[in-house]
């Protein structure tokens, strides 16, 4: 976990922090920093499939390439281009070819905040304590996403938290991705980096204009975090108010720890069959939890 505090124009300060819990996969990779031109940024990458793509992204970060990309208009497309140019998904086995990563985050330039999202991780933006914007997940359950998807789908199941102690099994779909060798694999996402260009990498970009007197809190989370948020039983797209407040109020480290606790607790699971069973995962079965947080403090208006 790292934290930075940097002052910006008009006496405003930006606080950047991140935290990560690497469980079975070890593929969550949160980032934060300042570009050469002075932009502040946070982000979370969540690798899937083999480690090929997430390792390549970590190497881009180590070499300073990732920071320079965050200075550009569309960093997701630049990262995808480098993955393709470097043949990251062609150099090894079929498992490497199916390798990919999501990316979600925010870039602050002056009073303009740009939210970038590709995949099923999410970013939440609060203005003066109220949730103003949240990204939507790019997966088959997103009907708008499904309508523009070129893929075929495979029926599957998933789980949603509906209370502090209950999970509900729900119907879901996986995307069927077929490569040039006519081999197929199943993917939860409709957009992602990597995959040798077989999966749509085009991000959603949302821009907010900030008032210097506003307090802005931005939180990016991998799906290992959002999967443990408690949803409305009647509408799975609605996160309960208590968890919205938790995202806003907790530090990156405390939010990561709270999500980790939920992964480890004993759950009552309502199955599609109507039966209820108890389920407890060991740490090896938890998903990774990655969090990055940006707090933009309001301008000091004291005389």
Q: Which helix (H) or strand (E) holds 292?
A: strand 289-296
Residue partners of 194: CB distance under 8 A and separation at least 6: 49, 52, 53, 80, 83, 88, 89, 99, 100, 101, 201
Alpha helices, DSSP H, located in 16-106: 52-62, 65-69, 75-85, 94-97
**What is the full per-residue pLDDT of the chain (303 aa) written as tens digits?**
444 444 444 457 999 999 999 988 889 999 999 999 999 999 999 999 889 999 999 999 999 999 999 999 899 999 999 999 999 987 656 666 789 999 999 999 999 999 999 999 999 999 999 999 999 999 988 888 888 888 889 999 988 999 999 999 998 999 998 876 667 888 999 999 999 899 999 999 999 999 999 999 999 999 999 999 998 766 656 899 999 999 999 999 999 999 999 999 999 999 999 999 999 988 889 999 999 999 999 987 544
Q: Tell which residue, 231, 233, 237, has the closest CA to residue 262.
A: 231
Position 233 scores a pLDDT of 60
- Domain spans, the chain: 2-137+159-171+190-296
Token pair, residue 299, equals 């301008």
Contact 295, 6 (CB under 8 A): no
The Cα 37–Cα 200 span in angstroms is 29
Residues in the chain: 303
Cβ density class 250-287: b for 16+ within 10 Å, e for less: bbbbebbebbbebbeeebeebeeeeeeeeeeeeeeebb
Which of 3.40.50.1820, 1.10.620.20, 3.60.40.10, 1.10.3720.10 is the CATH number of 2-137+159-171+190-296? 3.60.40.10
Q: Residue 215 in contact with residue 13, Cβ under 8 Å?
A: no
pLDDT of residue 274: 93
pTM of the model: 0.92
CA 68 to chain CA mean position, Å: 20
């Amino acid at each position: 976990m790292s934290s930075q505090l940097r002052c910006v124009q008009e006496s405003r300060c930006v606080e950047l922090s991140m935290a990560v819990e690497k469980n079975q996969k070890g593929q969550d990779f949160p980032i934060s920093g300042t570009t050469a031109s002075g932009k502040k940024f946070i982000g979370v990458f969540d690798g899937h499939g083999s480690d090929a793509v997430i390792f390549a992204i970590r190497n881009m970060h180590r070499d300073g390439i990732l920071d320079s990309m965050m200075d550009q208009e569309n960093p997701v497309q630049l990262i995808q281009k480098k993955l393709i140019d470097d043949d990251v998904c062609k150099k090894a086995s079929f498992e490497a070819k199916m390798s990919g990563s999501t990316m979600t985050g925010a870039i602050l330039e002056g009073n303009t905040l740009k939210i970038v999202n590709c995949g099923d991780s999410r970013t939440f933006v609060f203005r003066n304590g109220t949730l103003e914007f949240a990204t939507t997940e790019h997966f088959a359950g997103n009907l708008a996403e499904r309508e523009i998807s070129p893929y075929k789908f495979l029926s599957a199941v998933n789980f949603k938290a509906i209370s502090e102690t209950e999970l509900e099994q729900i119907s879901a779909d996986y995307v069927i991705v077929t490569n040039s060798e006519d081999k197929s694999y199943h993917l939860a996402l409709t957009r992602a980096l990597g995959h040798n260009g077989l999966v749509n990498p085009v991000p959603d970009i949302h821009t907010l204009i900030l008032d210097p007197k506003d307090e802005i809190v931005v939180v990016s989370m991998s799906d290992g975090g959002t999967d443990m948020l408690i949803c409305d039983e009647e509408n799975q797209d609605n996160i309960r108010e208590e968890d919205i407040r938790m995202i806003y109020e907790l530090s990156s480290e405390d939010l990561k720890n709270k999500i980790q606790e939920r992964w480890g607790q004993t759950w009552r699971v309502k199955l599609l069959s109507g039966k209820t069973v108890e389920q407890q995962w060991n740490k090896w079965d938890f998903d990774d939890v990655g969090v990055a947080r940006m707090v933009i403090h309001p301008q000091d208006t004291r005389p």
